[in-house]
Amino acid sequence: MKSRVISILVCLLLVSPAHAVFFSTFFANVASDALQGGGSGGGSNSGPVVDPLLTEKKIQGALGVMSFYTGEITGDLDTFNSRTGIKAFQMAYGHEPSGILSEEQLKHLTYLSNLFVEVSKPDQSFERKTGIWREIDATKDAMRVKGFADEYLSFLSTTRYPLRIATEFDNGEITLTGGDMNETQQVQLKYVQFNLPEGEYTLNYRGLSDDEEFLYTYTKTISLGAEANIDVIEADEAETHKRLDRLAKEAKEEAERNQRFKSGTATDDDLFALFSKRFKSGTATNDDYFALFSKHKRWESYRAKEGSPTFVDPVTHLEWARCSVGQEWVAKANVCRGKPAKLNHSDAEAAAATSQYAGKLGWRLPTRNELKSLVYCADGSFVSKKSDRNACEDRYRFPTIQSVIFPATADDAYWSGSQTARYRNASWVVHFYYGRDYDNYGRSYDFRVRLVRSG
């Protein structure tokens, strides 16, 4: 058994509980004010494209976080799901359920969405997160139309104390039982809040890892009152049947694959499975790459997800930008619009470091071998000898890349992040006209750029 830590703070504030759903959709679409409009590649002369429907998407996200909206984040507030969600919000908060938001409601929901984005950012102190959640509660309280009972008869109600629980988990559920109460809330944004009368309660946490291969559980008795305060929970970690079944299946497949290698009957699929394991564990060697280059026909069987601006190589597990830097991804047409930018090496590195392509961070220049793994010699053959630097030959088509997955690629040289051994101020490039790499170009040259993220 291993332990995971959940930090907990009890705040004695009379505020309403937060309910949340589908945060993954919300934060995939409403990440920041620099939300990518269509997925600009982000060259040195192309800044982030602000989505013209960003405000509307934020509003849908905020309504979704509060469980009023469950559709896709499209920015269209005039759909059935949007109008229904708006009416549900308006009724719950004491407003006329017109389905059309007032200017004040628009401002509150937009601000609330910004707060949800802010509280989800990593590496924040627990105190700051708690302060943001207090502001979230205050904003929600300000949106509520208070009736007679709220204003004048609150003294007749039993005093309830908010129990705020900030966890390191993004999912799971926490159940509190005690007396006649049995209440369960889903953990969202590493947060749960209960409003409870003074008393003793049993807290139960249960959650799965994102891949559903680990189960986390914890039970503790707590006392909630004016001075109640809980600091830490340690949750036990156990492997699930899903993980155990997967490991058993992989062990069996690996044993069968090893037997085929010994008998000389191994297939390309066996070789790709071996490569995949080594690339995923970070143990792949140059020889593995050279063997992979000769299997360039593998690209013929790959298909990118419809509308997706990125592609994950199933062998190397690298996530590639389908567009070159300087181009814009057009999801409806599955094409890259515009001409790939030409940058010197320094500007290429800067473009990678600041890129928010596809609304994601962590982009970089590929290594020489990573970039060469994209080479595809359609209708041609691949020279796999190391001395030939792995060029396409015969009647191949150019650009030497799978254009269905990487549309509008320039038949030109692309920068890698690998420095050459022969020249101090040069980096390797891969030329997608010849499918060949070169080490004799200084970093002041202007070449194309394709970005990659580690899986």
Q: Which of 76-90, 146-160, 187-201, 288-302 has the lowest mean pLDDT?
A: 146-160
| Per-residue pLDDT tens over the stretch 365-385 | 999 999 999 999 887 777 765
Which residue range forms the structural domain that includes residue 426?
293-453
The contacts of residue 251 (CB under 8 Å, 6+ apart) are none
The dihedral sign for the CA sequence 178, 183, 184, 185: negative
Residue 390 has pLDDT above 70, yes or no: no
Q: How many CB atoms lie within 10 A of CB 226?
A: 8
Same-domain check for residues 310 and 234: no
What pLDDT shows up at residue 134? 82
Q: How many domains does the chain have?
A: 3
Same-domain check for residues 197 and 272: no
Domain assignment of residue 288, yes or no: no
Same-domain check for residues 407 and 277: no
> What integer is the mean pLDDT of 192-199?
80
Same-domain check for residues 102 and 51: yes
Domain assignment of residue 106, yes or no: yes
| Per-residue pLDDT tens over the stretch 6-18 | 444 433 333 333 3
Same-domain check for residues 265 and 301: no
Identify which of 324, 329, 317 has the alpha carbon closest to the alpha carbon of residue 373: 317
The contacts of residue 208 (CB under 8 Å, 6+ apart) are 171, 172, 214, 215, 216, 240
Same-domain check for residues 138 and 171: yes
CA distance 394 to 48: 42
Q: Two tokens at 168? A: 């390191």
Domain assignment of residue 103, yes or no: yes
Domain assignment of residue 327, yes or no: yes
User: What mean pLDDT is reported for the chain?
Assistant: 81
Domain assignment of residue 387, yes or no: yes
- Output the pTM of the full model: 0.57
What pLDDT shows up at residue 99? 94
Q: Which of 5-14, 43-52, 310-319, 362-371 has the lowest mean pLDDT?
A: 5-14
Q: Which of 283, 305, 335 is the last residue of a domain?
A: 283
